Structures are given as C-alpha cells and as structure tokens.
C-alpha cells in the first residue's frame, strides 16, 4: 500500500515534510498519522488508509513534495488494487492514440487555450502569445507558473548579457552569505502579493480617527465586568460600513464580466506569526453580539499564533483588516487580499493635541487608518465616504451601539 500526497484543497499542490512519525518496521493502524506536512497555509497530518507494517519511507524531513508523490510504503498483507484513476487514464490514452490514427484533426479553426484572466494578463505584459504555448496540465489550462517559466526561458535565449546582469555578484573567497529557504507561507504570501499588484490598480486613502470616546465607553464596560477588546468595536463598525457600501464587500469576476456583491460579512484578520503572515477568517460578524465577537477574535488569534488553524478557518473572507498598530506603525499602503476589493490597515493609537467641540485644545487618542481599494470598482469619493462612515461610528460609539441593534 502506497501513501502518497493527496490534494489538500484550496489549490494546494505542494507541501513540505515537517515531521515523520514512523520508522521502518513500525505497525500502524488504520487512519493512524504517519507524516506531518506543511502547505502554504497549514500543517496537516497524513494517515494510513489501512493498517500494516511500514516497509519503506521515501522522503526525509524538509523535502518538498507534490500531489501524487510517493511518501511511505506500508505492507497491509493484502494485494493493492490499481487505482481506478490510473485505469481510466490508461484507457483514455489508448482511445486518444486510436483516434489519432483513425482521424485527422481539423486545424482550420484554432482552439483557444484555457487560462484565467490573471494568467492572460501576465502573458500580455511579457509580450507572450499564450495561444502558442503548450499546456502541461491534462485539462489544457495554462497556469501562471508556466507563463513565468516560459518568460524566463525566453530571456535566457535572447541575451546572455541580460542573464549575467540578473545573476548574483561574484563573491571573494573570504566573503560569506546566508541562505534562507524561500518556501512555505513566505512563498505563498509573495505569490499572492504579486498577483494582487499585477491585477488590481491600488489606491490608498488615509484618515485620522479620534478614539477618546470609545476608550471611555470601553472603560465603563470594564468597570461593569465586561472587558472588550478595542478591535472588536472596530470590527463591528467596519461591518456596518460594509453594509452601507457593499462594493467593498465584493469581488470582480473579469471573465464573466460581473461584480459579485456578498450578503455575508466574513472578515479576514491579517495576523503576524512566527511562520509568516496568515489570515484567519472571522465569519458572520454581523450576526454576533459584541461579546461573542470578542471571544471569537481571541480564539482565532490564539490558534493562529500557535499554528493550529485548520483550512476552513482561513478561507472565505470578503474583506480583510490588518491591525499593525501594536507593531508601532503610523501609516502604510497595504496590498489588497486578492480577489477582494479593499483592505483596511489599523495603525498605532497615539496621544495628540486635538480641538474639541468647544474649540479647546485637549489631548486625544488618535488612530490613523489606511484604506486600500480596487480603483476599477471604487472611486475616490466612495473610498472617502467609507472611511467617513467608519470615523463617524468610532468617534461616536453611542451611534455605533444604535447601529448594532
């Protein structure tokens, strides 16, 4: 019985072996974990589909493997039947071969290759005729990796000089370098950022929000035995603003030429962990009470920091919030979490002189926010209106309470 890497969902086709839990000769039971692998988003256990004796371990810790790669062999005492999909594939290959011998394909009308709008955009920007590319995927779809690889190959052919310019500098013997593996969450984050910037024309709007009244409300609740995080109030205010400006709770389907507006409010909470940036998802924020929301934020954050998130807890966000204030940030131009249409960054709250309603100069608690949005769908006036609504709710928390009822 062969244990191979299977598709873990969300388009995850590669993984890194982080821990091997068995040795040759071990007896394993049905569904007993034999390996731990790390994908772009999580650590998952791979189990034995049947019990038996481990006869061979085909990988080592730190190896990168792809879907279908052989990982461990287990002798279950029974002859393993060939996989149905392999039979189907062999039959398909025979049929295709027979068809090619019997008939001549009609080439008068060229068939358009399959590719996503993002992949076609990459090809256009690199002056690559995607219709001339031969897909490696059996489905006939050209992937973005194939376009990038094709581009690199073309550059090497065109000019050795260009290659030499792009290569690392020659080092003297006494010079040393440190090498950090570029894989896992860091590689996935880089891929997502490039895709977002290549696809979405970003605009960032900045605003200042005076938080003193919200601090006072939070203090009053704490004295009554209800300790609520400041961010929980903010997440509720964002959800209310999203309801009033649904274009921020949307995605653009370029291929279908449709803007999809969501009636659910799933907030992605960008979280900085030791493994890198991950985005756990807080579902149905509009349906939670403030206390329920606060408890769920604490639970998700703890699981994210401890690397315990499961796949379903990291997908389905409709709008993302990045709270970088605790890191000391005062401003940024955040990159949108593709394919969403906006991302809000919360920056550090600082004491500053402000002018109150009585025209008096007093000390206030001021927070900067940065709202990046997709300029294909959202105009500047709409971006300003969104942050103005957020500002209105947070500076007047009693109004926020009314909106929550």
Would you name the residues annotated as active-site residues?
Answer: 375
- Three-class SS state of 278: strand
- Residues forming beta bridges with residue 136, ordered by sequence position: none
Between CA 316 and CA 267 the distance in angstroms is 9
The answer to whether the CB of 336 falls within 8 A of the CB of 299 is: no
* Nearest Cα to Cα of residue 28 among 92, 64, 77: 77
Please name every residue paired with 93 in a beta bridge, in sequence order, or none if there are none: none
Secondary structure of 128-187 as H, E, C letters: CCHHHCCCCCCCCECCHHHHHHHHHHHHHHHCHHHHHHHCCCCCCCCCCCCCCCCCHHHH
For the chain, counts of helices (H) and of strands (E): 10, 17
Structure tokens at 401: 């309470």
Residue 399: its H or E element: helix 397-404
Residue with tokens 């891929």: 191
């Amino acid at each position: 019985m062969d244990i191979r890497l299977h598709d873990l969902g969300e388009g995850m086709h590669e993984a890194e072996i982080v821990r091997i839990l068995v040795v040759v000769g071990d007896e394993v039971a049905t569904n007993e974990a034999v390996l731990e692998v790390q994908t772009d988003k999580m650590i998952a256990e791979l189990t034995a589909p049947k019990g038996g004796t481990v006869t061979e371990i085909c990988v080592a810790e730190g190896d990168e493997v792809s879907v279908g790669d052989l990982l461990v062999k287990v002798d279950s005492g029974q002859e393993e039947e060939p996989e149905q999909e392999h039979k189907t594939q062999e039959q398909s290959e025979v049929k295709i071969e027979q068809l090619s011998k019997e008939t001549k394909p009609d080439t008068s009308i060229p068939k358009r290759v399959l590719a996503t709008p993002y992949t076609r955009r990459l090809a256009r920007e690199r002056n690559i005729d995607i219709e001339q590319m031969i897909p490696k995927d059996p489905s006939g779809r050209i992937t973005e990796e194939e376009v990038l690889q094709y581009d690199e190959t073309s550059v090497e052919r065109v000019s050795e000089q260009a290659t030499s310019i792009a290569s690392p500098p020659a080092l003297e013997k006494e010079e040393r370098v440190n090498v950090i593996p570029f894989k896992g969450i860091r590689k996935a984050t880089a891929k997502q950022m490039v895709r977002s910037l290549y696809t979405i024309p970003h605009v960032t709007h900045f605003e200042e929000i005076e938080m003193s009244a919200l601090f006072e409300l939070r203090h009053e609740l704490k004295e009554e035995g209800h300790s609520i995080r400041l961010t929980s109030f903010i997440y509720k205010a964002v959800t209310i603003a999203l309801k009033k400006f649904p274009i921020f709770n949307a995605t653009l389907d370029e291929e279908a030429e449709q803007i999809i507006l969501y009636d659910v409010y799933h907030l992605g909470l960008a979280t900085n962990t030791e493994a890198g940036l991950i985005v756990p998802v807080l579902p149905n924020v509009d349906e939670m009470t403030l206390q329920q929301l606060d408890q769920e934020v604490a639970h998700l954050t703890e699981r994210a920091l401890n690397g315990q998130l499961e796949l379903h807890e990291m997908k389905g966000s409709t709008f993302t919030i990045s709270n970088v204030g605790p890191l000391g940030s005062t401003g940024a131009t955040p990159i949108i979490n593709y394919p969403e249409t906006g991302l809000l960054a919360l920056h550090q709250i600082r004491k500053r002189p402000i002018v109150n309603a009585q025209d008096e100069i007093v000390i206030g608690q001021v927070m900067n926010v940065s709202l990046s949005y997709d300029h294909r769908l959202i105009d500047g006036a709409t971006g300003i209106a969104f942050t103005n609504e957020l500002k209105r709710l947070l500076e007047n928390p009693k109004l926020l309470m009314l909106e929550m009822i």
